[in-house]
Amino acid sequence: MNDPPLASLSLTHVHYNPVDRLSYICAWLALVPQALCVIYVTLIWSTREVEILLMFAGQMACEALNWGLKRWIKEERPRQMNGKGYGMPSSHAQFVTFFSLSLSLFLLLRHNPSSRPPPQTQQQQPYSHNPLPFTHRLAISVLSIVSAGVVATSRIYLNYHTPRQVMVGCFAGAVCAVGWFIVTGLLRRWGVVEWGLELGIARWARMRDLVVEEDLVEGGWRRWEERRRVRLRVRDDGGGKKGR
């Protein structure tokens, strides 16, 4: 009889208008940052790429900055919003802006795949893989930025933030993305990334740094093609022997 009232976990608790279909879609868009965190962790675990780990570290630093800014500025959310916490700047807008701009900077400025085969494979079968062209990478970048804009706008539509709070969040996310891109570039130039990959913990975790120079869909493809050719050769040889 004296149990305390139950509370709602605000991480996934989103208010929306049940009779408004667009409001319902915006409520799902509010879960994009959580989905991106799952994607980050999945990619880090499956690829062991240090570039993704660095991007995730910057993403978390950006989120920590948002937490500090909200408690420093202390600007309330719109009056018609029923949620808790401060609203300046919008954490959703800052999160997705950092992600989309960091991805775009990587694809357009840092990602430099080659259509030439590595030296150890030049004497093997012809190298027929074509890296993702720049125009495709540009299209992905534009799509990611537009998607970030949609998520940020949804926060205004749901009355969780004012337009000014969303704009400041986008600006803060953009500054963090550009700043972190410069920092990681300097870390690469100074050899800090290469040094870190030689540490025992990085070697134990099998961290690597291939995605900068290797095409996004190339990882493992060459090994798969080699194994496929071996299987086909064995199958053809076996069929020839049976024919004899």
pLDDT mean over 104-109: 92
Is pLDDT larger for residue 179 or for residue 234?
179
What confidence category does residue 7 fall into, taking pLDDT thresholds of 50, 70 and 90?
A: low
Joined tokens for residue 194: 């290469």
Residue 80: its pLDDT value, please?
A: 73
Is pLDDT larger for residue 137 or for residue 133?
137
Is the per-residue pLDDT at 73 higher than 80? yes
pLDDT mean over 5-29: 77
DSSP lists the bridge partners of residue 208 as 49
Judge contact between 213 and 114, C-beta under 8 A.
yes
Torsion angle defined by CA atoms of residues 129, 184, 69 and 94, in that order, rounded to the nearest 10 degrees: -10
Whole-number average pLDDT of the chain:
83
Is the per-residue pLDDT at 74 higher than 90? no
How far from 186 is each of 119, 170, 196, CA to CA, in Å? 28, 24, 14
Per mean pLDDT, which range of 7-16, 108-117, 136-145 is the poorest?
7-16
For residue range 57-69, list pLDDT tens digits in order.
999 999 999 999 9
Joined tokens for residue 87: 């609203």
Is the per-residue pLDDT at 187 higher than 90? yes
Is the per-residue pLDDT at 18 higher than 90? no
Is the per-residue pLDDT at 77 higher than 60? yes
How far from 235 is each of 179, 229, 242, 243, 244, CA to CA, in Å? 55, 10, 11, 12, 14
| CA–CA gap between residue 128 and residue 121 (Å, rounded) | 12
Joined tokens for residue 13: 């608790």
pTM: 0.81
Is pLDDT larger for residue 39 or for residue 14?
39
Classify 6 in phi/psi space as left (phi over 0), alpha (psi -120 to 50) or beta.
Answer: beta
Q: What percent of the chain has pLDDT over 70?
A: 82
